[in-house]
């Protein structure tokens, strides 16, 4: 059994990652790697302004003849909400897309409405076919794999890409950022574009045909991200020395934004998944990563993060209410769900996957990319 250790710089530990490595004074390799990456995004005011303006000018130039020059995926959370304010403040003409998978909290719905009304942003809401989507979620749970959210994240990207193409939008603006989304252990997530994995799991555990569920595969996403063909996926928050708590205060003031209690908790399902399913079945507490990122971003201290980890993930009464609601929507009895929670954990690679093909493509690409730049 691995001896318990916790990084002396952050709150990652051997529970979060059994393979975590430490130096002689107890600093984890995860912290060191994340620190080096983070340094690339800590900019002077001049550098930040320059990079920001270059991106804004590029988006405006390529979208000058269109009704909209960029697309924003809007969830009502901190990052996507802040990106919406950023876009309008920089004179861009965004079209917002909301992916409604049936799990929105009331706070998220209110946030989205306020943002679009106050900032005068047009909104397209894509509502999933619930019968198909719930069957996919049930299948992922029965499969006992860790990244159940692939069915949402993949389809969200596919829907956004489709809207961008329909409106001839060249830039998809993402709220993803290094400042608050760093140090995630590999075993906690899976490649969101592995459609083969999603459908093999559904083939084994699903109960109805899937006809309208939109997806984007590895190859299409790879080409879009790495070759410049198709709408470009850009992350402006990485140019802004982004601070989560400052962003939250600005959003409250500017667009009457409300906080929902935790990272990605704007979704009832994601809250239940992160605060109950992950720690109960997989022994994963995502707060360790989120808090460690905030320590690295100098927004909280390590002691404050440790104090936060001492707070239970769920209030017992709230958990009882949410569990009853989630199980009813997913059509599980309590005994069926308890069986899922106690069944053996499976790897995504226990099912069919595009991983080997994608690893090979990436290997070739990173060999060819320097040659293309030289040419």
- List pLDDT tens digits, range 206-262: 999 999 999 998 888 877 776 777 889 899 999 999 999 999 999 999 999 998 877
Closest C-alpha to 179, from 299, 321, 53, 343:
299
SS3 at position 233: strand
**DSSP state at residue 267:** B
**DSSP state at residue 280:** I
H or E, element range at 315: none
**DSSP state at residue 333:** -
Half-sphere exposure of 279 (CA within 13 A, CB side): 14
Q: Is 230 left (phi over 0), alpha (psi -120 to 50) or beta?
A: left
CATH homologous superfamily for the domain 45-282+314-360: HUPs (3.40.50.620)
- Please tell me the predicted confidence (pLDDT) of residue 230: 81
- CA dihedral sign of residues 331, 335, 336, 338: positive
pLDDT digits (tens, 9 = 90+) for 26-54: 999 999 999 999 999 999 999 999 999 99
Contact 136, 97 (CB under 8 A): no
- Please tell me the predicted confidence (pLDDT) of residue 358: 77
**DSSP state at residue 235:** -
Contact 34, 27 (CB under 8 A): no
Joined tokens for residue 14: 């051997």
Buried b (16+ CB within 10 A) or exposed e, 324-358: eebbeebebeeeebeebeeeeeeebeebbbbbeeb
- Please tell me the predicted confidence (pLDDT) of residue 103: 95
Low-confidence spans in the chain with pLDDT less than 50? none
46 by Cβ neighbours in 10 Å (0-12 / 13-18 / 19+) ranks as exposed
SS3 at position 190: coil
- CA dihedral sign of residues 201, 203, 208, 209: positive
The CA distance from 157 to 172, in Å, is 10
Residue 318, number of CB atoms within 10 A of its CB: 12
- Please tell me the predicted confidence (pLDDT) of residue 361: 72
Break the chain into its structural domains and give their ranges. 45-282+314-360
Joined tokens for residue 162: 């489709």
- Please tell me the predicted confidence (pLDDT) of residue 47: 96
What residue spans of the chain are helical by DSSP H? Answer: 29-39, 45-62, 78-89, 106-119, 130-143, 150-166, 195-205, 218-227, 244-255, 268-272, 287-296, 302-309, 316-330, 334-342, 355-374
Buried b (16+ CB within 10 A) or exposed e, 162-183: ebbeebebbbbbbbbbbbbbbb
């Amino acid at each position: 059994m691995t001896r318990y250790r916790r990084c002396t710089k952050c709150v990652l530990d051997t529970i979060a990652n059994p393979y975590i490595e430490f130096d002689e004074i107890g600093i984890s390799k995860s912290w060191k790697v994340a620190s080096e990456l983070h340094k690339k995004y800590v900019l002077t005011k001049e550098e930040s302004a320059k990079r920001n303006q270059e991106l804004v000018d590029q988006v405006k130039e390529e979208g000058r003849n269109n009704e909209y020059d960029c697309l924003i995926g809007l969830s009502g959370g901190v990052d996507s909400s802040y990106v919406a304010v950023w876009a309008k403040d920089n004179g861009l003409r965004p079209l917002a897309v909301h992916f409604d998978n049936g799990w929105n909290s009331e706070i998220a719905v209110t946030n989205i409405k306020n943002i679009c009304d106050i900032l005068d942003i047009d909104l397209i809401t894509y509502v999933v076919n619930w019968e198909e989507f719930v069957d996919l979620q049930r299948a992922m749970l029965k499969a006992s794999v860790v990244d159940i959210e692939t069915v949402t994240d993949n389809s969200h990207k596919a829907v956004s890409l489709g809207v961008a193409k329909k409106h001839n939008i060249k830039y998809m603006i993402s709220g993803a950022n290094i400042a608050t989304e760093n140090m995630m252990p590999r075993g906690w997530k899976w490649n969101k574009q592995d459609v083969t994995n999603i459908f093999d799991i559904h083939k084994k555990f699903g109960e109805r045909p899937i006809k309208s569920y939109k997806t984007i595969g590895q190859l299409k996403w790879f080409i879009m991200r790495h070759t410049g063909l198709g709408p470009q996926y850009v992350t402006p928050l990485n140019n802004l020395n982004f601070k989560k708590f400052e962003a939250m205060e600005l959003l409250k003031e500017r667009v009457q934004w409300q906080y929902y209690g935790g990272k990605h908790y704007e979704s009832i399902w994601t809250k239940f998944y992160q605060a109950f399913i992950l720690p109960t079945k997989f022994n994963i507490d995502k707060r360790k990563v989120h808090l460690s990122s905030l320590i690295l971003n100098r927004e909280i201290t390590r002691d404050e993060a440790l104090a936060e980890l001492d707070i239970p993930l769920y209030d017992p009464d709230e958990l009882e209410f949410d569990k009853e609601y989630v199980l009813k929507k997913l059509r599980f009895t309590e005994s069926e769900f308890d069986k899922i929670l106690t069944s053996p954990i499976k790897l995504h690679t226990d099912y069919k996957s595009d991983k080997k093909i994608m690893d090979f493509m990436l290997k070739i690409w990173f060999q060819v990319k320097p040659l293309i730049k030289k040419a």
